[in-house]
């Protein structure tokens, strides 16, 4: 028979949460040779995953890293600024998945992180179910 639940000690550590968002967009990568298929206009159903973390002692009430509802401004940004756009026409860099992940981390840190608990630790951008790029945010 196991000990009463009230005797279970909560170990120290880090909590991590994640949430996925989607948007549709086209792009091309003109820096590639004309023979490369990605140099031509094409589109993706992008999935963007954000990962946030905090320590056990810093959980927000009632015990959240961040309330998932507080991530709505990020969803709104993706929907209004990137969805159904040609990314190479609106972004100030060649829109590879790697650079897009870094850019989205920067937007999140600048615009959303100051208003929510938890710290952004990574952004993953998926062009397909089998292809992704991850940007890990340096500890601040």
Catalytic machinery residues: 38, 84, 127
Residue 108 Cα to chain centre, angstroms:
8
Rounded Cα distance between 85 and 25, Å, is 5
Residue 43 neighbours by CB under 8 Å, 6+ apart:
24, 25, 26, 27
């Amino acid at each position: 028979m196991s000990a009463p639940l009230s005797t279970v000690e909560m170990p120290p550590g880090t909590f991590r949460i994640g949430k996925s968002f989607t948007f549709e967009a086209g792009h091309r990568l003109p820096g590639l040779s004309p023979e490369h298929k990605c140099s031509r206009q094409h589109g993706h159903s992008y999935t963007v995953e954000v990962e946030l973390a905090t320590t056990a002692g810093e959980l927000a009430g009632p015990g959240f890293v961040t309330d998932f509802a507080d991530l709505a401004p990020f969803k709104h940004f993706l929907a209004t600024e990137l969805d159904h756009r040609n990314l190479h026409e609106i972004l100030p860099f060649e829109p590879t998945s790697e650079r897009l992940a870094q850019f989205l981390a920067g937007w999140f840190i600048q615009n959303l992180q100051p208003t929510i608990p938890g710290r952004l630790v990574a952004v993953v951008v998926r062009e397909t179910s089998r292809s992704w790029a991850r940007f890990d945010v340096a500890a601040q």
